[in-house]
């Protein structure tokens, strides 16, 4: 992905990035697997401690720090990069939703965070050609083009 494409993707509302990523994950893996991952995260004491710690120090971990944490969880040690990415996105959503004044968050900051998680996971993917991430970025770029052409849904 070029830097220009990266910047253009930041125009997509963050909730739409989440929706597109989740739909793409379900399409390629299954809704059952999505629910299994979310269940594992909810039931994990390590995840709860991680979120409490980050809440206590008033920070959102850097994307790389977050992904290192996810990779350290036993359930995700041998998981696909797509599954690890979904777990990272889910934890990021949990942390951002804990921030009291959501209006202080700039959309481009949150989208940039999500894109950084996706790019980190894409880098470690062994099969690069025609991968989950290639198809995901095609979907995100198409969404970005639609937004630039027709405007955001809330502007219509």
Among candidates 148, 92, 83, 146, which has minimal Cα distance to 115? 92
pLDDT in tens, 94-136: 888 877 555 567 888 889 999 999 999 998 876 666 689 989 9
d(CA 24, CA 121): 15
Query: CB–CB of 22/137 below 8 Å?
Result: no
Residue 156 pLDDT class (50, 70, 90 cuts): very low
Among candidates 67, 85, 78, 114, which has minimal Cα distance to 25? 85
Asked if the model's pLDDT at residue 33 lies above 80, the reply is yes
Mean pLDDT of 80-101: 86
Determine how many CB atoms are found less than 10 A away from the CB of residue 98.
13
What is the pTM (predicted TM-score) of this model? 0.86
d(CA 85, CA 113): 12
């Amino acid at each position: 992905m070029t830097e220009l494409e990266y910047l253009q993707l930041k125009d997509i509302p963050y909730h739409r990035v989440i929706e597109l990523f989740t739909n793409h994950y379900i399409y390629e893996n299954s809704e059952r697997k999505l629910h299994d991952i979310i269940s594992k995260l909810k039931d994990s004491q390590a995840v709860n401690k991680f979120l409490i710690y980050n809440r206590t120090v008033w920070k959102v971990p850097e994307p790389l720090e977050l992904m290192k944490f996810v990779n350290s969880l036993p359930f995700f040690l041998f998981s696909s990069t797509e599954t690890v990415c979904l777990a990272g996105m889910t934890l990021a959503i949990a942390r951002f939703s804990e921030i009291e004044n959501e209006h202080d968050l700039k959309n481009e900051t949150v989208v940039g965070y999500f894109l950084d998680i996706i790019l980190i996971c894409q880098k470690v993917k062994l099969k690069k050609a025609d991968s989950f991430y290639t198809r995901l970025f095609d979907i995100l770029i198409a969404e970005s083009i639609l937004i630039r052409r027709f405007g955001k849904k809330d502007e219509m």
